[in-house]
Structure 1
Amino acid sequence: MKGMIGLTVQRIGLGIATLFVVSVLIFSAIQAMPGDLAQAVLGQSATPEALTAFRKDLNLDEPPVKRYGDWIGAAVTGHFGKSLADGRDISQLIGPRLANTLFLATFAALIAIPLSLLLGFLAALYRNSWFDRLINVITLTSISFPEFFIAYILIFALAQGGYFSSISDVGSSTPFWEHVHATFLPALTLTLVVVAHMMRMTRAAIINVLAAPYIEMARLKGVPRWKIVLNHALPNALAPVINVVALNLAYLIVGVVVVEVVFVYPGLGQLLVDSVAKRDVTVVQAVGLIFAATYILLNLVADLLVTVSNPRLRYRR
């Protein structure tokens, strides 16, 4: 127990340090953008007095270190400042968009994770059969296409026939099942992109465990092959599977930018693209920090779950 607590504290500290470094990179990249931010936002017709007032309002006349400290200190408390585009509070602007992105990612994960584990289990069970080869061909084909190409194929195949909408127009007042229907095509696109990683890792991990001596002993005892895979191989192959599932969950949240833009889905990815186009740097910084924190958090959870699932890591000498 003490080892687990120490490992958890160590991982949390490493995550915080990583997030700090990423936040510095995000802030530095925004500050390194060419041109004058005040001039870009206010336009060429802005007077010198207006430009000076704008820079003072955003603390652009302060040293970069102080501006970073003010920004990260406010971000820790959940305050990201105000949008340059419309003056709205960024926390209120991000809230509904983050909820939409999490809904889409959860919807895709509920389809992709069970499907990939089932396909990986069956592919390992019937290794080198026609089923195994067919599944590998299909998943490798889907992963070879970029997200926007898969999205447009699904729009052509399903939206053109009127089964689903090509524009995922949802809001806070949208009923749950209407929300599910509107986000089915984006969720299916993400599923087709990530299921290959998880399926192939599950298959490879199970096949690797099947070479262990205790699996051979179970075979000699006459245990059915499906029971060997399900009861002995799968539990001992969880560590790499958990890792790849966590990485793909992180992708489902932080890698949705292209999919959200294609389907005009009102999530964080669409907000990020719109803010970049408007040069709304305060929103870009906030969304980038949220994406980074989400990715780091999911990797932290994956590390802890791998440790819990592996007794050799829990009880290290």
Structure 2
Amino acid sequence: MILTRYAGVRVTLGLAQVLGVLVVVFVVASALPGDAAVVIAADDADPERIAQLRQSLGLDRPLPVQFADWLTGLLRGDLGTSAVSGRPVTEMLAAALAPTLTLAALALMVLIPLAVVLGVAAAVGRDSRVDRTISGVAVALYAAPEFALAIILVAVFAVGLGVFAPTAVGASGPLLWQPELWVLPVAVLVIRPVCSLSRLVRASMITTLDSEYTRHTLRLGVPLRRVVWRHALPGSLTPAVQHLARVADWLLGGVVVVEAVFALGGLGQVLVSAVSSRDVPLLLGLVALFALITVAVNTVADIVAFRLNPTAGEAW
């Protein structure tokens, strides 16, 4: 019952956060100079023509009415129609979602086990050569920005060795079945998060291994491997799970940058197009998608962390 009540509070708070983000983005987008009517008119920027376009697109209505209509459609599962292309926003997002989700899912599949293994290895062998090597490399790689890592990887593995493709220009078909296209982008997405997450796992594991109940378990003759993986690790994952939610947020933004660097068609390209063309319905659809994913990930992480923490229920 305590967990259910906590989950209900987190879900309600998450929905309120999504609504707040949508309101802020709508107000900011509406305050930008120009609108979709000006973009569509292009060279034929006759005031009468622009006024007709604004009327046909509904841009001449009060802003609260426009937002209320869009929000009503969202509650019905309708994200509206792109003001520039005239295509349903849901259709445009669905077409661009596959590459973005593929990159994010592959990055998480590599990131989580790699960070846990490195963190545990560093904690078990604290102050050893293994620990110093892992910590030194993690600090060095974390200091490098993503675009610099991308350029280095492309120069070495794509241009120099010719193992992978430098970009996805001219490629077709599902991204998942073309590892030569996604290995380098996934590596760029994983390098920095795995450094921070492994360091967090290491610190939490050291604290757990130094605790009295862990020492007592070792005194009872339980093998160290079993103590580490069956007893110490689950109790050390609470801060890592919460940090992983922030990493997932970062991946959403990182994927947008990586898609631009490696010319991968995805939500990043749609986002750039929506902002440049002042396509408010498309922009709101993207923001709603990003906000829902972010809130869902953070909510699940908080619930899992609450469940893993044996003392969390005392405050409820």
**Partners of 1:278 and 1:154 in 2: CA distance:** 33
- Tell me what 1:233 maps to: 232
- Tell me what 2:266 maps to: 267
Kindly report which structure 2 residues correspond to 1:156-235, keeping only aligned pairs within 5 A, or say none. 156-160=155-159, 161-169=161-169, 173-174=173-174, 176-178=176-178, 180-235=179-234
User: For the structure 1 residues 172 and 5, does the alpha-carbon distance in structure 2 shift closer, same or farther, using more than 3 Å as the test?
Assistant: farther
Of the structure 1 ranges 193-202 and 51-60, higher mean CA displacement relative to structure 2 is found in: 51-60
Kindly report which structure 2 residues correspond to 1:52-71, keeping only aligned pairs within 5 A, or say none. 52-71=51-70
**Partners of 1:175 and 1:263 in 2: CA distance:** 12
Kindly report which structure 2 residues correspond to 1:243-262, keeping only aligned pairs within 5 A, or say none. 243-262=242-261
Return the offset for 1:64: 1.1
**Partners of 1:175 and 1:16 in 2: CA distance:** 32
User: For the structure 1 residues 89 and 21, does the alpha-carbon distance in structure 2 shift closer, same or farther, using more than 3 Å as the test?
Assistant: same
Equivalent residue of 2:77, what SS?
coil
Does the aligned pair in 1 maintain the 2:141–2:195 contact within 8 Å? Answer: yes
Return the offset for 1:314: 4.5
Provide structure 1 residue ranges, at least 5 long, that are not aligned to the other structure: none
Kindly report which structure 2 residues correspond to 1:17-56, keeping only aligned pairs within 5 A, or say none. 17-35=16-34, 37-43=36-42, 45-56=44-55
Does the aligned pair in 2 maintain the 1:123–1:132 contact within 8 Å? Answer: yes
Structure 1 counterpart of 2:180, which letter? H
Of the structure 1 ranges 30-39 and 100-109, higher mean CA displacement relative to structure 2 is found in: 30-39
1:86-115 Cα offsets, whole Å, 9 max, x none, are 322221111021122111100111111110
| CA RMSD between the two structures | 2.1
Provide structure 2 residue ranges, at least 5 long, that are not aligned to the other structure: none
Does the aligned pair in 2 maintain the 1:38–1:51 contact within 8 Å? Answer: yes
1:220-255 Cα offsets, whole Å, 9 max, x none, are 334444433222211111211111122212322343
**Partners of 2:170 and 2:246 in 1: CA distance:** 27
User: For the structure 1 residues 102 and 174, does the alpha-carbon distance in structure 2 shift closer, same or farther, using more than 3 Å as the test?
Assistant: closer
- Tell me what 2:289 maps to: 290
1:37-76 Cα offsets, whole Å, 9 max, x none, are 5334413533333212211122221111111111122223
**Partners of 2:115 and 2:288 in 1: CA distance:** 30
**Partners of 2:49 and 2:78 in 1: CA distance:** 25
TM-score, normalising length from structure 2?
0.92
TM-score, normalising length from structure 1?
0.92
- Tell me what 2:111 maps to: 112
Of the structure 1 ranges 305-314 and 262-271, higher mean CA displacement relative to structure 2 is found in: 305-314
Does the aligned pair in 1 maintain the 2:29–2:278 contact within 8 Å? Answer: no
**Partners of 1:83 and 1:172 in 2: CA distance:** 25
Return the offset for 1:299: 0.2
**Partners of 1:297 and 1:172 in 2: CA distance:** 31
Structure 1 counterpart of 2:197, which letter? M
**Partners of 2:243 and 2:273 in 1: CA distance:** 31
